[in-house]
Chain A
């Protein structure tokens, strides 16, 4: 991965974003240490839970932790850091062009969707350029998009902790941190950045899976929908705490619908490929049922002696899943990889069956 230019772009932009964010928040963190610590302590478990949950939403195998962390880092450092000057400049442009009244009402609904959705989605693009096998379809795009959005959301929530302290006149730091966490995480996390970027990411996943006019249209439509939902959230309509669920519901609903469609497409491909590879003799009948469930894959290992046989079984299953997912597509897909994976599956099965006291996997 480090040989690819996208990796170095990712590293440089994350470092640059972190520097901008640190420079912007450093003084406030020093001035309000208790509030900042309380905010950080509340947000850290939320981030961990979010990463765990979003990775687990993949129906067959969790998104790889390394790729998930790359996505979160882009959202939380690169996209967030660069959004600070971009948003400030965009707001200033709107203020100068349309006046402060318009800016205070509509500025966020215009600037944030453009800047932030583009910056976040570039994280999904960068990940696909760094690791083309990471994003092979809308489900991968949805998952990594959601993780980029989550990273952004957590950093933004930390900034809001500091902003809330300032908004309360720096008179109630801990209360401000708790209030900010309650309103933005407990009350508002359900329809926030993760959901919008997941929708845009699902569209990009379609495009990266198979480049065609249809998938390009789908990617553009998903991107516009993500921006429209972001704009809807920031628009000065349905304001007030009681109405927030009403305002957030379309965003959450759109993310759920995008997920269900992406999941259905993935599972349908999965079943189709399992059938084809079973007919071809690469998979044995019934193996697809084990492959599709995490629980069954875990349970079958109990019947295999520890050590080399168990490791071989895990590698066999991983190779089989890679073979199934290989057909989904992806950027820079190697056309020889299917044949190579079939050979790997055959060799590993042979080795596993020739282990002493083996469990027959055929």
Chain B
């Protein structure tokens, strides 16, 4: 007869504690995980096909870092500079969508965090490569920012940038320039205007 009533339970509790607290502690010990990006660096997200990810964004200025802990290149990339956070996300439609639908959907996603809201009246934006999307403001308590969406028949991209009002205001031109470099590569491109 093996008596395991107490030490067996203790062992289970210890293992749970290691997984629940140990890994987050290790993550914390490794620091913030920001990888500095040189101006001109191209960040690509989306499912890789033939070694290429379909959505790209170019970093136009220095001072930006890729948050490796919060980035999963198949779905999103998180860029930070000072206290401003830029999120580039992939949107995969199950049926064709347009930029207006994507803007409304992004509004619901942004509101999830409870700290910020998306402006109701977006305006058209044209990227350096001629792709048209929608852009508008992000507002919240002690937060300011901007968002943009781009939709094709088969793929969409959303960009949100937000931070403390002062920090965001100083970086807003850089964010706007970054958004204008966005591309959605063929064969996904079949643009649907706003």
Contacts and interface: CB of A to CB of B under 8 A. Distances in A.
B97 A172 contact: yes
B101 A332 contact: no
Given A31-B112, A96-B30, A169 B19 contact: no
Contacts of B27: 89-90, 92-93, 96
B156 A169 contact: yes
Interface residues of A, number: 50
A331 B102 CA distance: 56
A318 interface: no
Tell which of B13, B19, B93 has the most Cβ of chain A within 10 Å. Answer: B19
Contact of A122 (B12, B66, B97): B12
A125 B14 CA distance: 13
A100 B95 contact: no
B173 interface: no
Interface residues of B, number: 54
B19 A101 contact: no
A233 to B, nearest CB: 16
Interface in A139-191: 166-172, 175-176, 179
B71 to A, nearest CB: 5
B177 to A, nearest CB: 23
Given A4-B5, A9-B13, A28-B112, A168 B92 contact: yes
Nearest to B69: A92
Contacts of B158: 169
A234 to B, nearest CB: 12
Interface in A104-151: 104-105, 107, 115, 118-119, 122, 125-126, 129
Specify the main secondary structure of chain A where it touches its partner.
helix
Specify the main secondary structure of chain B where it touches its partner.
mixed
Given A31-B108, A171-B93, A176-B94, A86 B20 contact: yes
A166 B160 CA distance: 14
A81 to B, nearest CB: 9
Contacts of A333: 1
A54 to B, nearest CB: 23
* Chain A to chain B: the 10 pairs with minimum beta-carbon distance, closest first: A169-B91, A170-B105, A92-B69, A89-B23, A96-B33, A104-B73, A95-B68, A89-B27, A169-B105, A89-B24
25 contacts: A5-B5, A5-B6, A6-B12, A9-B9, A27-B113, A27-B114, A31-B109, A31-B111, A89-B27, A95-B68, A95-B69, A100-B72, A100-B77, A103-B71, A104-B73, A119-B16, A126-B12, A129-B4, A168-B93, A169-B93, A169-B158, A170-B105, A170-B109, A172-B97, A331-B2
Given A6-B8, A85-B24, A104-B74, 12 more contacts: A27-B112, A86-B24, A95-B33, A105-B48, A107-B72, A118-B19, A169-B105, A169-B109, A170-B104, A172-B95, A331-B2, A335-B1
